[in-house]
Amino acid sequence: MSRVLPKNMKPKKTPLAKPVNASEPRRLKAPKRRLYKPSTWRRPKPVYAPISKSRHILKRSIRNSWQSRKAIGGVTLVYGIGVILLVRGFFSNQDFTVIKQTLDSILTGTTGKIESTLIQLTTLFSSNNTISTTTGGIYQTILLIICSLAIIWIFRQSQAKKPVSMKAAFYQGMYPIIPFLLVLLVVTIQLLPLLTASYLFKALISNGVAVLWWEIMISYVVICTLAYSSLRMLTSSIFAFYIVTLPGMAPLQALRSARNLVFGRRLLIWRKFLLLPFVLVVATSLLVLPFMFIFTSVVSWLFFILSVFWFSISHGYLYTLYRELIKDA
204-247, pLDDT tens digit by residue? 888 877 778 888 899 899 999 999 999 999 999 999 999 999 98
pLDDT at 121: 79
Q: In 3D, which of 158, 169, 157, 174 has the Cα closest to residue 75?
A: 169
**HSE of 205, CA atoms in CB hemisphere, 13 A:** 16
pLDDT at 213: 83
Which burial class, exposed, middle or buried, applies to 75 when counting CB atoms under 10 A from its CB (0-12, 13-18, 19+)?
Answer: buried
pLDDT at 260 over 80: yes
324: enclosing H helix or E strand:
helix 299-325
Cα(61)–Cα(50) distance, rounded to whole angstroms?
18
The region of weakest confidence among 21-35, 101-115, 190-204, 289-303 is: 21-35
Is residue 236 domain-resident?
yes
pLDDT at 65 over 60: yes
Cβ atoms of 234 and 138 closer than 8 Å: no
Is residue 17 domain-resident?
no
Domain containing 242: what range?
51-93+128-328
Q: What are phi and psi of 295, to 5 degrees?
A: -120, 80
pLDDT at 206: 80
Q: Where are the alpha helices (DSSP H) in 160-202?
A: 166-172, 177-190, 192-200
pLDDT at 9: 55
Vertex 273: Cα angle to 195 and 182 (nearest 5)? 55
Percent of the chain topping pLDDT 90: 45
Confidence grade of residue 75 (pLDDT, cut at 50, 70, 90): very high
Is residue 317 domain-resident?
yes
* Alpha carbon distances (Å) from 81 to 85, 89, 169, 172: 6, 10, 17, 21
Cα(310)–Cα(313) distance, rounded to whole angstroms?
5
Confidence grade of residue 318 (pLDDT, cut at 50, 70, 90): very high
The region of weakest confidence among 9-23, 68-82, 170-184, 242-256 is: 9-23
Q: Model confidence over 99-137: pLDDT tens digits?
A: 666 776 777 777 777 777 787 778 777 765 556 577 878
Mean pLDDT over 71-96 rounds to: 83
Q: Model confidence over 31-53: pLDDT tens digits?
A: 566 666 665 666 667 777 788 88
The helix/strand/coil state of 266 is helix
Indicate the DSSP class of residue 16: P
Q: Model confidence over 275-290: pLDDT tens digits?
A: 899 999 899 888 888 8
pLDDT, greater one: 104 or 7: 104
Q: In 3D, which of 303, 275, 300 has the Cα closest to residue 62?
A: 275
pLDDT at 91: 67
Residue 194: count of CB within 10 angstroms of its CB? 18
Query: Helix 134-159 vs helix 54-67: angle between axes, to the nearest 10 degrees?
Result: 90
| Close Cβ partners of 160 (under 8 Å, ≥ 6 residues apart) | none
Going 103 to 108 to 112 to 114, the CA torsion angle's sign is: positive
pLDDT at 214: 86
Is residue 302 domain-resident?
yes
Cβ atoms of 61 and 319 closer than 8 Å: yes
Percent of the chain topping pLDDT 70: 79
Is residue 45 domain-resident?
no
pLDDT at 26 over 90: no
Is residue 117 domain-resident?
no
Is residue 170 domain-resident?
yes
Average predicted confidence (pLDDT) for the chain: 83
Cα(16)–Cα(34) distance, rounded to whole angstroms?
32
Which burial class, exposed, middle or buried, applies to 10 when counting CB atoms under 10 A from its CB (0-12, 13-18, 19+)?
Answer: exposed
Mean pLDDT over 40-69 rounds to: 84
Confidence grade of residue 29 (pLDDT, cut at 50, 70, 90): low
Vertex 134: Cα angle to 132 and 135 (nearest 5)? 105
Residue 214: count of CB within 10 angstroms of its CB? 8
Cα(154)–Cα(150) distance, rounded to whole angstroms?
6
Mean pLDDT over 65-89 rounds to: 91
Is residue 176 domain-resident?
yes
Mean pLDDT over 76-92 rounds to: 85
| Close Cβ partners of 31 (under 8 Å, ≥ 6 residues apart) | 40, 44
Which burial class, exposed, middle or buried, applies to 191 when counting CB atoms under 10 A from its CB (0-12, 13-18, 19+)?
Answer: middle
Number of domains in the chain: 1
